[in-house]
Amino acid sequence: MTVKIQVKFFAQLAIQTGCRSCTLEVPNNFYQAIEVIGARFNLPAKEKLGTYYSILINGKGYSYGLADNYELKDEDILAFVPILSGG
Amino acid sequence: MLTVNEKLCTGCRICEQVCSMEHHREFNAGLSRIKIASKWPEEEKVIICRQCKAQSCIKACSQGALTFNGFVVLDKDRCDSCGKCLEVCPFGFNLKDKENKPLFCDTCQGNYQCVNWCPSKAIRKGGE
Amino acid sequence: MQWFGYAGKLLYVNLSNGNYEVKELAPEQAKKYLGGKGLAASILYDCLQPGQDPLGPENLLVFATGPLTGTLAPTSSRMIVATKSPLTGLWLDSNAGGFLGRELKFAGYDALIVEGKSLEPVYILIEDDRVELRPANNLWGKDTFETHQTLKELHGTDYRVAAIGQAGERMDKLAAIISEARAFGRGGAGAVMGSKNLKAIVVRGTRGINIADYQKFVDYVKEAFNEVAIHPDTGGGRNHYGTSVIYSFINEAGVHPVENFRKGKFTGTDTINEEVLRSKYYKKDKACSSCPIACSKLTKVDEGKYQGKFTEGPEYEDVWSFGAQCGNTDLGAVIYAEYLCDAYGLDATSVGNVVGFAMECFEQGALTQEEIGYPLRFGDTEAMIKTVEAICQGQGIGKLLAQGVRYASEQIGKGSEKWAMHVKGMELPAYDPRGAFGMGLAYATSDRGGCHLRSWPIAQEVLAANRMDPFSVEFKAEFVKSEQDLIAVIDSLGLCLFATFALSLKQIVGMLSALTGIQEFNSGEKLMVIGERIYNLTRLFNLREGMAPASDTLPERLLTEQLAEGPAAGQVVPLDIMLKEYYTIRHWDEAGRPLPAKLEELGL
């Protein structure tokens, strides 16, 4: 099953992917979705998760506690954020 | 030969620190053979002997204190601190030590430490 | 004693009688307090009588470097200025990079301590051993740009300068000290300088800084440079965008305060974000001494109303303070507002905060159009700029607002105290703790009041990959306590906070002990004890100045008013639980006083 979600990239990830925001149809399983997004934008999505970038789902932080079968819904916003440390 | 892109220079002066550390084992910008001069907020100016082909400095020296051996070599005993070598430099190189003798870059025995350490690649070896 | 890293000398200048004295740095003092913030805290605690007027001649102004300042250690540019703050009436240390710290060290001093008050405007000229007071009557009334230019033309471009603008001269509580393109911004140190009739400090040094273990130091520094270069923050986003790199993201997470903390997500981000700043206004990277990150971005407005105005920045905090805080969506106006603050010598974070406060006062009817002179609504860029100009020029409503939100709200009354977003008198910066509870505890327990630079748990709550839950109180007290201690160390070493993003304490210890050769600095544990000692000493300073225990708190809005929308919708900060735990972990009593056993353990 697939869902239509909004994908956002921040800071240098926006440059790297050439995209700040777009709507994509992806598998509803979170982990499969980021694989698809990673392939689409040429990001080593899964491997670098946590060391190079992290993800917000609807503005809230993805954490390692997210279940393997976590399901995304239509209109969810997935924000890819490079690891940043301060302002 | 050194090439300099002043647009890339951030003015961090890591080159000054590295130069004095490499030559004198201390941090002392006054002993450095490279200097970043800036008039904020304008662009930085990188002051260093470029080891250029013109070698006007060597020609200008009346004491025969300067020779070229891949870089400009100063014979301190012959130098009379007249400063003519610096006056004629087409790149505006003007660094002197406390005895008013010119502080030419000696390439750190070919290691070019300022080039190695420059984080913004504002200064490079010719041809690189 | 042969010093490595340190200069080994302290310069005391007395403006009342024009004398100066050079004192040896006591090895025990260095070992106990490191330098920078720690050294300044020990000097202020020992030499400043409690209860003095911050703007009186008795107050001291301490400029202090750390052992790493002026070396090749990455980001080792920092210097602090410490004093009793006219804004909070409490401890203040304000930290800046640039080149002044390095130059003071080259001149042969770890710190400059300014005492007394001059009858006439003066500036202090330091050229190695030569120390002079020079008349500054011709500089008085000039902005910081002109002051820098005049002094550099007179003495030479190699001379490093720190100066106050007209705001400092007027002793406005939000006055900053500006050193070239960097600012000792927060807490009103510029007003203290003005109260002493001290317009500027001009420094030139030709001495060197010695290294104890040359090869080891070089090896550690090389490793540190590599870490900074490969880290995705310091070597990536921060290097490209400057501190504004976090802008869109903080907003996405719903913790970017909007219109005086009434909302947590800004809708004007099409025209105001890090990408627009970079593509439309960015001119050039700039860096402080020995810094490979180069987070400073020279920006300039090329066309329109604010054409020609420039700044180094604007930093994230100020894109917020003159952006979302005032509802302004014109980035050019942000640059102009920051330019004005630089020129007149004001803390741009606090100025934006106080303008947002005045906007709320106007919309709620506590300030009228007659009192202000024009309608001052959120989102009205022109009115915002007018107000910033009034603050800079000390005119009309600006005269009051330049004294900060706490003082202004006390004068305005009519319930406006509720809208004064400050802790202990210092205006809050650009994060809403309702979406990151730890940040609330960090604000409440910061030793200089409402500031994000003593602990920054929001990085762990919102930014980091392996997060703490932002809406839980768990681990927050522990985290804030240990980060406050760590940052006290960093601020005492002369490093920039940003170095800690990439460097481990072990790497910092490596550089420090190879540089200084001091045994007492050879482990992270030892340094953390020093950090804890410093944080307890600034606490003792504040308690001695009569700080009420209840001032470890947050503005009522953050404790009782829920955010209506965004990821943090429905939240308020559960401060009491965290604070209680924090006191317990710190071994402070219920009123926040360090317990005797803790003080004994720390040698205080």
Higher pLDDT, C175 or C467: C175
pLDDT at C589: 97
C210–B41 C-beta distance less than 8 A: no
Cα angle C4, C9, C10 (rounded to 5 degrees) comes to 140
Q: Which of B22, B25, B27, B95 to mutate to test the interface with C (most CBs of C within 10 A)?
A: B27
Q: Give the separation between CA C317 and CA C255, rounded to whole angstroms.
A: 13
pLDDT tens digits, residue range C267-277? 999 999 999 99
Helix (H, G, I), strand (E, B) or coil at C327: coil
pLDDT at C221: 98
| B73 and B61 Cβ atoms separated by less than 8 Å | no
Crossing angle (nearest 10°) for helices C144-155 and C331-344: 50
C292–B41 C-beta distance less than 8 A: no
Q: Which of C220, C284, C296, C300 to mutate to test the interface with B (most CBs of B within 10 A)?
A: C284
In C, what residues contact B, Cβ < 8 A? 70-72, 99, 102, 106, 148, 157, 180-181, 206-211, 214, 218, 225, 229, 284-292, 294, 296, 298, 310, 312
pTM of the model: 0.95
pLDDT confidence bin for B40, thresholds 50/70/90: low
C245 touches chain A (CB under 8 A): yes
| R_g (Cα) of chain C, nearest Å | 22
The letter for the amino acid at A49 is L
Q: Give the separation between CA B89 and CA C7, rounded to whole angstroms.
A: 36
Q: Give the separation between CA C459 and CA B22, rounded to whole angstroms.
A: 38
Report chain B's mean pLDDT, rounded to a whole number.
93
pLDDT tens digits, residue range C385-405? 999 999 999 999 999 999 999
Q: Quick one: tokens of A79?
A: 């924000």
Residue where the block lists tokens 């802790």 = C423
Mean pLDDT across the stretch C68-92? 98
The letter for the amino acid at A76 is D
Mean pLDDT across the stretch C252-260? 95
Q: Which of C75, C146, C152, C209 to mutate to test the interface with B (most CBs of B within 10 A)?
A: C209
Mean pLDDT across the stretch B66-93? 95
Mean pLDDT across the stretch C117-137? 98
> Order of strands across the sheet with C310-312?
C282-286, C296-300, C310-312
pLDDT tens digits, residue range C347-377? 999 999 999 999 999 999 999 999 999 999 9
Mean pLDDT across the stretch C215-229? 97
Residue A66: pLDDT over 80: no
Q: Quick one: tokens of C490?
A: 């960093």
Within a 13 Å sphere around the CA of C235, how many CA atoms are in the beta-carbon half? 14
Q: Quick one: tokens of C422?
A: 């400050």
- Cα dihedral sign, C472-C477-C479-C484: positive
- Nearest by CB to residue B120, choosing from C157, C206, C285, is C285
Mean pLDDT across the stretch C406-428? 98
List of long-range contacts for C212-215, beta carbons under 8 Å, 24+ apart: C212/C4, C212/C5, C212/C514, C212/C515, C212/C516, C212/C517, C213/C514, C213/C515, C213/C517, C214/B25
Rounded to a whole number, what is the distance in Å from the CA of B70 to chain C's nearest CA? Answer: 27
Strand partners, C64: C80, C111
Q: Quick one: tokens of C324?
A: 């979302």
Q: Give the separation between CA C329 and CA B80, rounded to whole angstroms.
A: 63
B10–C72 C-beta distance less than 8 A: no
pLDDT confidence bin for A15, thresholds 50/70/90: confident
pLDDT tens digits, residue range B83-122? 999 999 999 999 999 999 999 999 999 999 999 999 999 9
pLDDT at C1: 82
pLDDT confidence bin for B18, thresholds 50/70/90: very high
- Nearest by CB to residue C208, choosing from B8, B26, B119, is B26
Question: Strand C79-84 vs strand C91-96: parallel, antiparallel, or unpaired?
Answer: antiparallel
Report chain C's mean pLDDT, rounded to a whole number.
96
Mean pLDDT across the stretch C9-19? 98
Residue B41: pLDDT over 90: no
Give the rounded percent of residues in chain B with a pLDDT score beyond 90.
85
Least confident of A60-69, C178-187, C433-442: A60-69
Distances (CA, A) of C325 to C322, C373, C382, C463: 6, 21, 15, 21
Please choose, from the candidates C336, C182, C281, the residue with its C-alpha nearest in 3D space to the C-alpha of residue B40: C182
- Nearest by CB to residue A59, choosing from C246, C430, C566, is C566
